[in-house]
Chain A
Amino acid sequence: MSLFIKNQPRAFLLIAAIIWFALYKTLEPLSHILVNRLALKPASHSYDALQFFLYDTPKVLLLLAGVVMVMGMANSYFTPERTRALLAGRHESIGNIMAALLGIVTPFCSCSAVPLFIGFVQAGIPLGVTFSFLISAPMVNEIALTLLFALFGWKIAALYLALGLSIAIFSGYIIGYLKMEAHLEDWVRNMTHVQATTGADELTLADRIAAGLNNVREIVGKVWLYVLAGIAIGAGIHGYVPQDFMADLMGKDAPWWSVPASVLIGVPMYTNAAGIIPIVEALLAKGASLGTVLAFMMSVIALSLPEIVILRKVLKPKLIAVFVGVVSIGIMLVGYIFNAVV
């Protein structure tokens, strides 16, 4: 297999794409056949729930594997070093927009947040632009977008993408405008300035495919359990739990403070984009409104206590407070806008 990839990378991609597409197309009929075999009455609660589970689980996992594969290959073009070189010398505005966009495609793990932050500052990238990247990278990522798309449709995924990017761009812009460079820890400011270089990495297509496959193994291997839990919850309460269970607290007619309260609860919590999906599924199914739930989801992913503790090594308390404050306010606005529009 690896020999085939090495010799015929294009053929491998083509065959993989065809198999993927064929599988995707057979899922729905297959799930009906499987459920019928179990001799449940069509249109009964258990029939619906089981069909939903049997169809949605492979669908979401297949979509996720496809997207993670493509993103793994894309990631190999956008190493942090290259992203840094692209951003060095950019000014505010354009820099903020580019940083937020690059945040989507640059591989990022929250444990790398601090080295990345310092690396950017060291190369002379403005503080506000650095923050735009740091906010966008964990929040607007392919896993969150794929799961939202697969479970709730493209409109919700597109809204999440647009509003997540807006939060990253504007929060970074505001932090840049406030000129908070003095609130970096002294040792960070005193570090020697380095030239941003891309570093020579001549990868072949076969290398990038290997990187993509590796990404699939690593991410889908970690995430499938959360996806399964999310879908099981969704299927389980399909018709069993009253639709308006959460409506009073987080629904359309909930008091105005339900959005800020959701964000306040979400900020200290941490889980990755996949881990939050079961909760989102459960809340939405029980009548919570979309804006409030998405605000909760964004605050869990974008801000967390562990991240704040790590960032404290490089930022003084005042800058941390501004960072958390600006991003939280942005997320709350998104919550209200979603609630008003949808």
Chain B
Amino acid sequence: MKHIKVLGTGCANCKSTMKLIADIALEKGVDIQLEKTEEIQDIMAYGVMSTPGVVIDEKVVHAGGIPSRDKISGWF
């Protein structure tokens, strides 16, 4: 099971990113655990400067803007 965190201070883009990841994981039948990290200190701990950022199993795979469908599909 993949552990995915979306880093973001709560803007609209972060919510869209969450939804997109959840949708695509469901489509592909991949089992994931999705959570949101909103606390700025925790976000900075990953060294991400532009949100939304995406962390999979404690590794930053994306930062800045909503990731494309293709990019998300590539993670699964």
Contacts and interface: CB of A to CB of B under 8 A. Distances in A.
Nearest to A111: B11
Interface stretch (A13-21, A114-122, A243-251): A114-122
B51 A214 contact: no
B48 to A, nearest CB: 6
Contacts, number: 57
Contact of B48 (A84, A115, A218, A314): A115
Nearest to B53: A115
Contacts of A119: 44, 47, 49
Chain A, interface residues (CB within 8 Å), range: 20 to 34
A330 interface: no
B18 interface: no
B40 interface: yes
| Residue among A79, A80, A112 with max Cβ neighbours from chain B (10 Å) | A112
A203 to B, nearest CB: 13
A297 to B, nearest CB: 22
Secondary structure class of chain B's binding surface, majority of residues:
loop
Contacts of A66: none
Contact of A81 (B49, B65, B68): B49
A114 B13 contact: no
A84 B49 contact: yes
Contacts of A257: none
Contacts of B14: 111
A43 interface: no
Nearest to B49: A119
Interface residues of B, number: 19
Interface string A78-121: 01110010000000000000000000000111011011101100
B13 A109 contact: yes
A112 B41 contact: no
A314 B64 contact: no
Contact of B9 (A81, A114, A191, A218): A114
Interface in B42-76: 43-44, 47-51, 64-66, 68
A313 B9 CA distance: 12
CB-CB nearest 9 A-B residue pairs: A111-B11, A119-B49, A80-B49, A112-B50, A80-B50, A116-B49, A112-B51, A115-B49, A118-B44
13 contacts: A80-B49, A80-B50, A107-B50, A111-B11, A111-B14, A112-B49, A115-B43, A115-B51, A118-B40, A118-B49, A119-B47, A119-B49, A191-B44
Interface of A: 79-81, 84, 107-109, 111-112, 114-116, 118-119, 122, 187, 191, 194, 210, 214, 218, 310, 313-314
